[in-house]
């Protein structure tokens, strides 16, 4: 069920708009320009690779360093929310960022046989289009020169891209399961000196199941933002 404005499941913090300090504005402008540039570099690299090689095989390997760097750098977004320079809940941002970190480091980086799957291209493309739009939106917004088409793209593209990205991510994890089962990677069997067991295969299945309650929360958060920004709907303010 969609979280309503009043329920507390993954509640947004709607505080009264306080102007950002010059330092925070400067930092966020730098951060957003860097991230826009990073994802643009990725986009160009992916287009060039596809144009030259005419296959998706090897695409991930050719862009992995840039992807890992910029997606890991996005951990700062959780800090931005935590220190209050960005008006989004730590929880919403945390789930989004951590799920990407998990995909990048614990799935694609770790499970080599899946790196050439088509599903990887699916989420790489959706992530890239989304992030170029999102970070350029924040940059222009901070500079008070926001072109309408960027605002429109920020709050419309996700309607299609979010589900496509999720399908790509889930298919990739699903495709990784047999390799994880066979290799027993990241798993700890009893008996061992710590007397604990951990099964990475089961962990991946739990992560896949976790998409069922968590993804709708993110999607409805974005729909709510869309109503607020594009249609000027007033969202009930909550004070901490
Ligand atoms: C460890 C194991 C974890 C396992 C988890 C398992 C399940 C997880 C399920 C999750 C599924 C995720 C799938 C996903 O990865 C697939 C894709 O992404 S596909 C591509 C499409 N995706 C998207 O469109 C979403 C992109 N992401 C986001 O938009 C954000 O990350 C999100 C947190 C979801 C929403 O962003 P936000 O809440 O910030 O919304 P707004 O952009 O409207 O901004 C709100 C206000 O904050 C200001 N803001 C935010 N960031 C900045 C910034 N960097 N600089 C400046 N200002 C910023 C923004 O301007 C707004 O301010 P105001 O309201 O005052 O205008």
Would residue 6 count as lying in a domain? no
DSSP code for 185: T
For residue range 136-171, what is the model confidence (pLDDT) as tens digits? 999 999 999 999 999 999 999 999 999 999 999 999
Q: Which positions of the chain have pLDDT values less than 70?
A: 1-17, 235-240
| ipTM value for the complex | 0.96
CA of 21 to the centre of ligand 1 (A): 22
Would residue 154 count as lying in a domain? yes
Q: What is the four-CA torsion angle of 77, 82, 84, 86, rounded to 10 degrees? A: 20
The residue nearest atom 41 of ligand 1, judged by CA position, is: 225
Which pLDDT score is estimated for 69?
A: 98
What residues contact 42, with CB distance under 8 A and at least 6 apart? 63, 66, 67, 70, 124, 128
Q: Indicate whether residue 114 lines ligand 1 (CB < 6 A).
A: no
Q: H-type helices in 16-156, by residue range?
A: 22-53, 59-73, 76-83, 90-101, 118-142, 148-154
Whether the model clears a pTM of 0.80, i.e. scores above it, the answer is: yes
Q: Indicate whether residue 104 lines ligand 1 (CB < 6 A).
A: no
Domains of the chain: total: 1
Name the nearest CA neighbour of 208 among 127, 114, 102, 137: 102
Would residue 238 count as lying in a domain? no
Length of the chain: 240
Cα 238 → chain centroid: 25
State how far the Cα of 145 lies from the Cα of 124, in Å rounded to an integer: 29
Would residue 4 count as lying in a domain? no
157-183 helix and 200-231 helix, angle to the nearest 10 degrees: 170
Residue 129: give the domain boundaries.
22-231
Token couple for 220: 């409805």
Which pLDDT score is estimated for 16?
A: 57
Q: Indicate whether residue 227 lines ligand 1 (CB < 6 A).
A: no
Helix, strand or coil, per DSSP, at residue 172: helix
State how far the Cα of 229 lies from the Cα of 2, in Å rounded to an integer: 19
Would residue 237 count as lying in a domain? no
For residue range 33-49, what is the model confidence (pLDDT) as tens digits? 999 999 999 999 999 99
The residue nearest atom 48 of ligand 1, judged by CA position, is: 86
Would residue 13 count as lying in a domain? no
Which pLDDT score is estimated for 232?
A: 87
Would residue 8 count as lying in a domain? no
State how far the Cα of 198 lies from the Cα of 183, in Å rounded to an integer: 14
Which pLDDT score is estimated for 234?
A: 73
Run of H or E including 6:
none
Would residue 1 count as lying in a domain? no
Cβ pair 159, 224 in contact under 8 A? no
Which pLDDT score is estimated for 235?
A: 64
């Amino acid at each position: 069920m969609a979280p309503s404005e009043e329920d507390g499941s993954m509640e947004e913090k709607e505080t009264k708009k306080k102007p950002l300090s010059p330092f925070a504005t400067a930092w966020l402008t730098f951060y957003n320009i860097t991230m826009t540039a990073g994802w643009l570099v990725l986009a160009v690299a992916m287009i060039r690779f596809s144009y030259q090689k005419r296959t998706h095989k090897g695409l991930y390997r050719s862009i992995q360093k840039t992807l890992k760097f910029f997606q890991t750098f996005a951990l700062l977004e959780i800090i931005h929310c935590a220190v209050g320079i960005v008006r989004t809940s730590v929880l919403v941002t945390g789930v989004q960022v951590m799920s990407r970190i998990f995909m990048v480091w614990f799935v694609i980086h770790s499970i080599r046989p899946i790196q050439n799957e088509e599903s990887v291209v699916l989420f790489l493309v959706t992530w890239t289009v989304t992030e170029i739009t999102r970070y350029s939106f924040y940059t222009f917004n901070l500079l008070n020169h926001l072109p309408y088409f960027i605002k429109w793209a920020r709050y419309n593209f996700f309607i299609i891209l979010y589900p496509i990205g999720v399908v790509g991510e889930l298919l990739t994890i699903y495709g990784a399961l047999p390799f994880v089962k066979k290799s027993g990677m990241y798993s700890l069997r009893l008996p061992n000196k710590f007397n604990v067991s951990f099964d990475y295969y089961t962990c991946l299945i739990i992560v896949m199941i976790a998409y069922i309650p968590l993804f709708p929360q993110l999607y409805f958060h974005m729909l709510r933002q869309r109503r607020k920004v594009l249609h000027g709907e007033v969202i009930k303010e909550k004070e901490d």
